[in-house]
Structure 1
């Protein structure tokens, strides 16, 4: 029962924030909420709990600068989730996660 209450409260909150920021019609709030929750979960569990909201903010800022923010947000969230998933394994191997020489 608490989950239903939490889901309802989250839905109401997101609707209010979207309205307050003038974002109506510019994104699919359902999939956006799921994307952000997945991203922050990956970061919280793979890197750092306090890093989760900061990461969501940074992805939002980066996406907001793109030509199509909704598409960019999904792309960036996928990239950063993958980075977070491999964060500990990279450290254990002694290779920096942001090693530019390994990027294509």
Structure 2
């Protein structure tokens, strides 16, 4: 199995498990059947992002979709996407998008 295949399957698993707050490099590496050190190195080499940054982006994208397409509360979305709480989600939105989740929903909800 090539690295691309490994990470394609891994990304599906990651998307399905975003809610888990216990996701760390060791857990992600186990899922990809690699040591943590090798996983971090190979993942960054193949994707251009560290595993931690990738996880943050996957969570951000999932939260964006839910803010646009659902009536769930921001607290529920933060939990569903594995942020743990609204504040952590807000900080992530500010860092990546320079907008709060509440303002994002107002601007982009359908």
TM-score (norm 1): 0.31
Bigger radius of gyration among the two: 1
TM-score (norm 2): 0.30
